[in-house]
Structure 1
Amino acid sequence: MIQHETKEYLLQELDVVAKWEKDQKGMWFWEKIGRVPFMILDRITPKVVHKKVGQALDEIGSYIQKGGSYLTSEKEVLKRVKKHTGNEEVGIESIKELPLPVMDDISEAIVASRKKVAMTQGATTGIGGFLTLSIDIPFILGISLKTLQEIALSYGYDPNEQSERVFIIKCLQFVSSDIVGKQAILQELTDFNKPSPDKRDQTISQLQGWREVMVSFRDNFGWKKLFQMIPIAGILFGSMINKSMMHDIGEAGRMLYRKRRILEKLESSDN
């Protein structure tokens, strides 16, 4: 375990994040046309299912304001930190002081655990084809938010704060954006910690259209979910697709939060 992180080490790790950012090329062509299956779903899905999906979106919207039912518990993450460090007196403030490799290990374990849950859910909902697929959509949105919150905690950030929930939604939006959108979001999140009320207010105001953010995320399931619409065969596809989606969300969350923590550590070392 690294007890003291030199400036050279932090800059090296920041370069790792920068390389990841360059690899984010946006959606491939097949991802862009992937919204077509949901146009079909809109036509053939019963109204009651549409209503349930709409209610889920409303709940997620309230998450930005007050956390709602999607606000995760700190206990599980703190338990992981205690087990990893052997320190029983752990809180969010003390997590901030942990070495970066420890934060990385904890966040990786969180993502791995969530992948397993998502795979099981994908296999279960894959049994019934497109009808149960509509149940899978709000589930994935919910587990994605909780995973990002737990990643936030593992890097010492508190999702109880509204500004932190804004950052989490932007991470979620990043995953389903095209290359232009990703570049814009990366710039916004790079400036997120800078003490500029105008910048922070601008980011929050952009999220007033949170429904569009969530609908875009839902639609980005695209044709990846198309095969899950086939009863029985959807078990395999549902499991694989959910695992892939959680991988992408987990990777984005880890890298974006990792960058924030490195930048703060660098600023602290300079001061």
Structure 2
Amino acid sequence: MKKDLVLSKQMAILEKQEQKFLNHTENQFMKSNFTSVVNKIQDKIPAKLQATLDAAFYMGFHLVFEKGSSLIEKTYNKEKIAVAYDLNNYAIEKYMHLKHLKTLDKSSKHSKAINESIAAIEGGVLGLLGIGLPDIPLFLGVIVKTINEIALSYGFQYASDEEKAYLLYLICTAMTKDDLRKSYDQKVECLGHDIDAHSLPFIDLAAIMKETSDLLSNTLLTAKFIQGLPLVGVIGGVVNPIMINKIGKYARIKYKKRYLLSKINMTPVNQS
């Protein structure tokens, strides 16, 4: 009875956070003023830059997924995170106390904060040097590192194509707005459910990478273009930690939701 009460309360709190994220709207004053500035900058961006940026993000994801995984894992202690999860998960299953659930959250919060700092340094330094496009694999590496650490914090692995697709849809949801954000959130929900129910759909990972690349390209076109201008580039670099914060916040909600659902439904967390 206590277990059901704790889990239901946690799920209710999490679902409120989820709805707040999905229904977030920008401040109208900031939106109207910022949009006019962005439009002026976009008018000066060469038309061919869009295709160049699309390709840069797509190749960046290929590099990160195919060759960068081992390098990314060297930037955090995977075994330490896994051990911390095992200990916290054992305590939760044995005692089902709120403090153990909060302890489970600490690791994911800590990794998100660290990666925001890394993104700020990486974006700011490269921005000051006038480097925009070459930093895309580094930026994507920080995004993937952030999500991987959050996944591990809640007991989930990330090596399979299904989990990589899940990661990509997390990025798409965080980077979109309004109805499109809600549409991507449904894709995240359905894929997460299928993975955890071991009812895996066909995944065209290359197509999802292309979809995510184009979306990120459109979202960050102006920021990356500004980051390619010396001195002024630091403005574009500021965008990086903001994106990491948004993606990390959403990823924490969705992985924790999968974790809580596994306890409510008494199904094991996917460790494949």
TM range, smaller chain: 0.7 to 0.9
**Cα offsets for 1:26-51 (capped at 9, x unmatched):** 67566989688567544476x9xx49
Contact 2:45 / 2:225 at 8 angstroms: preserved in 1? no
Evaluate the alpha carbon distance shift between residue 138 and residue 63 of structure 1 in structure 2; reply closer, same or farther with a 3 A threshold.
closer
For residue 16 of structure 1, what is the amino acid of its counterpart? I
Instruction: Give distance in 2, aligned partners of 1:13 and 1:36.
Output: 45
Q: Does 1:76 align with 2:77?
A: yes
The counterpart of 1:21, out of the listed 15, 18, 21, is 18
The DSSP-based 3-state class of the residue aligned with 2:136 is: helix
| Superposition RMSD in Å | 3.6
TM, length-normalised to structure 1: 0.74
Q: Does 1:103 align with 2:104?
A: yes
Give the aligned partner of residue 257 of structure 2.
259
Evaluate the alpha carbon distance shift between residue 77 and residue 60 of structure 1 in structure 2; reply closer, same or farther with a 3 A threshold.
same
182-191 or 224-233, which moves further after superposition?
Answer: 224-233
Instruction: Give distance in 2, aligned partners of 1:36 and 1:69.
Output: 36
257-266 or 211-220, which moves further after superposition?
Answer: 211-220
Contact 2:171 / 2:247 at 8 angstroms: preserved in 1? yes
Equivalent residue runs for 1:228-247 within 5 Å = 228-235=227-234, 237-247=235-245
Instruction: Give distance in 2, aligned partners of 1:35 and 1:79.
Output: 46
For residue 240 of structure 2, what is the amino acid of its counterpart? N
Instruction: Give distance in 2, aligned partners of 1:122 and 1:73.
Output: 21
Give the aligned partner of residue 7 of structure 2.
10
Contact 1:107 / 1:151 at 8 angstroms: preserved in 2? yes
For residue 251 of structure 2, what is the amino acid of its counterpart? G
Contact 1:171 / 1:253 at 8 angstroms: preserved in 2? yes
Consecutive unaligned residues in structure 2, runs of 5 or more: 93-99, 268-272
1:229: Cα distance to partner? 4.9
TM, length-normalised to structure 2: 0.74
1:265: Cα distance to partner? 1.2
Give the aligned partner of residue 216 of structure 2.
217
1:70: Cα distance to partner? 3.6
Contact 1:92 / 1:158 at 8 angstroms: preserved in 2? no
Question: How many corresponding residue pairs?
Answer: 246
Evaluate the alpha carbon distance shift between residue 96 and residue 238 of structure 1 in structure 2; reply closer, same or farther with a 3 A threshold.
farther
Give the aligned partner of residue 84 of structure 1.
none
Contact 1:36 / 1:222 at 8 angstroms: preserved in 2? no
